[in-house]
Amino acid sequence: MGAAEQPQGPPAGDDDGAGADAADAVAARAALVREIEASGAFEGDSSWREAFAAVPRHLFVPYYYVGRPGGYERLWGEDPDPGRRARWLRGAYTDAPLATRVRDGELISSSSQPSLMARMLVELAVRDEDAVLEIGAGTGYNAALLAHRLGDALVTTVDLDPEITESAARHLAAAGHHPAVITGDGARGWAGRAPYDRIIATCTLSTVPRAWLAQCRPGARILAPLATGLIALEVRDAEHAEGRFLHTPAYFVPLRGGDRGFGQAQVTGGLPQRALESELFRFLLSLTQGVFDPHEALALWRREGRPVRERFGVTVSGSDVWAWLDDPAGPYAWPLP
């Protein structure tokens, strides 16, 4: 693709990843699993190692886009040029996110960084009989990992965009998995297969959708990107949930639908460059967006000793959702949108 071209969809028939050389794909997948393991992402539940070793990522990214000056370049598994096919395969098994759908210059879907996916799956703390709802089908790769671990019948994945769900279903079938793939508003969950024991979102939220709690069993766990972190909530009942952020940073495409992700970045003029370079301060800026102005956020950050993510949490109680520092009933609490 030329430097100034806009990305287009794949040619007919290139969506099955058949261009991968089998031996190279197996070797590349094994190398990726070793890299994820070395990062410590499997610690706490090593059974996910076997899932990543078994599920071929290249089947879920038959094409993807890499940025270049003035536009994007598309790499795909059916490229007639063997060198470009080799680049595509190497890229499919790098521990990095891959842009899979770009529309009018906006990233609308991606395949997440595999080591981050592994950390999230470990933190989801699934048990063998757990029913899982995934919000954001993406390429279908995460649903395939869940289905490999739990079986197709216990996995449901939902996405707003029918093009995304249709391609995810094809990729899953190519890999031998058939979980429920639903086209719908992820902010509303999917009541048709409730109740769920676990909900995992692969898109950034601005708040916790109430419908999710109503579709969970008591004691269920919700893991979702919020601001630039990952919130892990324990569901008490249809009206109540609470939990803290994990230490892991997380950047995802915003949720599209009833409860959207965070909006445009705040104006940060006049803030010290040192503060703006802190990933933790930027997390606080995002979490307090629309409630505190940036200078108020900076004052809080300094006053509380530059708090880490794990000191922050979220509570859902009836129609109220709020974030907090250290204590849900403490002096530092503010409503989420």
**Predicted local confidence at residue 10, as pLDDT:** 42
**Domain edge (last residue) among 263, 296, 324:** 263
User: 19 with 138, same domain?
Assistant: no
Q: Confirm whether 117 is domain-assigned.
A: no
User: 7 with 43, same domain?
Assistant: yes
Q: Confirm whether 151 is domain-assigned.
A: yes
How many CA atoms does the CB half-sphere of 24 hold within 13 Å?
A: 16
- Number of domains forming the structure of the chain: 3
Q: Confirm whether 244 is domain-assigned.
A: yes
Q: Confirm whether 118 is domain-assigned.
A: no
Q: Confirm whether 296 is domain-assigned.
A: yes
User: 205 with 94, same domain?
Assistant: no
User: 197 with 294, same domain?
Assistant: no
**Domain edge (last residue) among 263, 296, 325:** 263
Q: Would you please indicate which residues are annotated as catalytic (active-site) residues? A: 109
User: 177 with 242, same domain?
Assistant: yes
Q: Which helix (H) or strand (E) holds 82?
A: helix 82-92
User: 50 with 89, same domain?
Assistant: yes
Q: How far is CA 247 from CA 8, 26, 120, 309, in A?
A: 37, 32, 12, 5
**Predicted local confidence at residue 256, as pLDDT:** 66
**Predicted local confidence at residue 277, as pLDDT:** 86
User: 293 with 229, same domain?
Assistant: no
Q: How far is CA 209 from CA 234, 271, 279, 285, in A?
A: 14, 33, 26, 21
CA-nearest of 61, 48, 50 to 14 is 61
User: 257 with 284, same domain?
Assistant: no
User: 201 with 284, same domain?
Assistant: no
User: 247 with 156, same domain?
Assistant: yes
User: 194 with 168, same domain?
Assistant: yes
Structure tokens, 55: 């599920």
User: 197 with 222, same domain?
Assistant: yes
**CATH number of residue 139's parent domain:** 3.40.50.150
**Predicted local confidence at residue 258, as pLDDT:** 52
Q: For each of the chain's 337 residues, which pLDDT tens digit applies?
A: 333 333 334 433 334 444 447 899 999 999 999 999 999 999 999 999 999 999 999 999 999 999 888 778 899 999 999 999 999 999 999 999 999 987 776 777 789 999 999 999 999 999 999 999 999 999 999 999 999 999 999 999 999 999 999 999 999 999 999 999 999 999 999 999 999 999 999 999 989 999 999 999 999 999 999 999 999 999 999 999 999 999 999 988 877 655 444 444 455 667 888 888 899 999 999 999 889 999 999 999 999 999 999 999 999 999 999 999 999 999 999 999 7
To the nearest 10 degrees (0 to 180), the angle between helices 294-303 and 279-287 is: 120
- Residue 191 CA to residue 194 CA, distance in Å, equals 5
Q: Confirm whether 133 is domain-assigned.
A: yes
Q: Residue 20's domain spans which residues? A: 1-112
Q: Confirm whether 33 is domain-assigned.
A: yes
**Domain edge (last residue) among 236, 263, 290:** 263
Structure tokens, 194: 């409730």
Q: Confirm whether 120 is domain-assigned.
A: no
